């Protein structure tokens, strides 16, 4: 069998190794479930809720183990060439603790990649303290230059990203890249309304039919005043009578 390598990818495996991973990993996951039931029985409600789902993907980012808030745990067949049986059990416990610690609800509006790492740092300490094994590249407080036994919220704000070497800036670098600097917004320009052109004013005469702005129809029965400022009296409903 190929030596374990945390950096191995699906494309590195031979067709025979790929077939073996597809066949064996589901059994390894179920065995990890039984071992955890014996080791941490107080988490049995979470352990029995797990649904294991195989992942078939050539994307290296998917060639791991992950969970959603409903404890649907997705595992890629390549993991049997990355981790020992003991490490797989530790990682299954790691995924359970993501849900048990409420990391999905606590994420809020944070950058999910950095939040996942902050959550990893929070729970990996517990997993190791409980006597379980994790891979050598597991995220720990020392990885991000932070103190132990803090919450994920603390690690998210205080983490010092290990890349590039010598970095001293605190906080999620991805979130900072996306954050736009506040600037003064220009007030929207007010559009000047063009004055409506006034057409020739209507000169009313007695007997003219008219419809008022309110929709009332009638007939002009008297007119007084100059043409540009007429005082008009309208008789509603008289249009059919005048001139009969």
Residue that wins the pLDDT comparison between 237 and 94 = 94
- pLDDT tens column, 82-91: 999 999 999 9
Mean predicted lDDT score pLDDT of the chain: 85
Predicted confidence (pLDDT) at residue 112 exceeds the cutoff of 60: yes
Query: Which domains does the chain possess?
Result: 1-100 (3.30.2010), 106-179 (no CATH)
**pLDDT tens by residue, 170-184:** 998 886 655 555 556
Q: Reply yes or no: is the peptide bond before residue 164 cis, omega within 30 of 0.
A: yes
Whole-number Å distance between alpha carbons of 72 and 95: 10
**Structure confidence at residue 149 (pLDDT):** 95
Task: Pick the more confident residue, 61 or 43.
Answer: 43
3-state secondary structure of 139: coil
pLDDT, one tens digit per residue, over 55-82 is: 988 898 899 999 999 999 999 999 999 9
């Amino acid at each position: 069998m190929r030596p374990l390598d945390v950096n191995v990818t699906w494309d590195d495996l031979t067709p025979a190794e790929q077939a073996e991973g597809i066949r064996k990993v589901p059994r390894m996951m179920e065995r990890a479930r039984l071992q955890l039931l014996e080791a941490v029985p107080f988490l049995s409600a979470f352990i029995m809720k797990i649904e294991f789902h195989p992942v078939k993907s050539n994307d290296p980012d998917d060639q791991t183990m992950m969970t959603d808030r409903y404890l649907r745990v997705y595992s890629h067949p390549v993991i049997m060439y990355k981790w020992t049986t003991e490490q797989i059990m530790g990682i299954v416990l790691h995924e359970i603790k993501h849900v048990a610690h409420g990391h999905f609800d606590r994420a809020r509006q944070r950058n999910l990649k950095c939040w996942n790492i902050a959550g990893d740092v929070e729970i990996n300490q517990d997993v190791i303290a409980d006597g379980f094994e994790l891979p050598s590249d597991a995220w720990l407080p020392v990885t991000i230059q932070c103190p132990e036994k803090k919450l994920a919220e603390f690690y998210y704000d205080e983490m010092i990203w290990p890349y590039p070497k010598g970095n001293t800036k605190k906080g999620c670098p991805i979130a900072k890249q996306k954050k736009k600097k506040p600037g003064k917004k220009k007030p929207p320009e007010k559009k000047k309304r063009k004055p409506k052109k006034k057409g020739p004013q209507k000169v009313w005469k007695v007997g003219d039919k008219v419809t008022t702005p309110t929709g009332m129809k009638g007939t002009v029965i008297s007119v007084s005043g100059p043409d540009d400022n007429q005082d008009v009296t309208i008789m509603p409903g008289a249009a059919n009578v005048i001139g009969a």
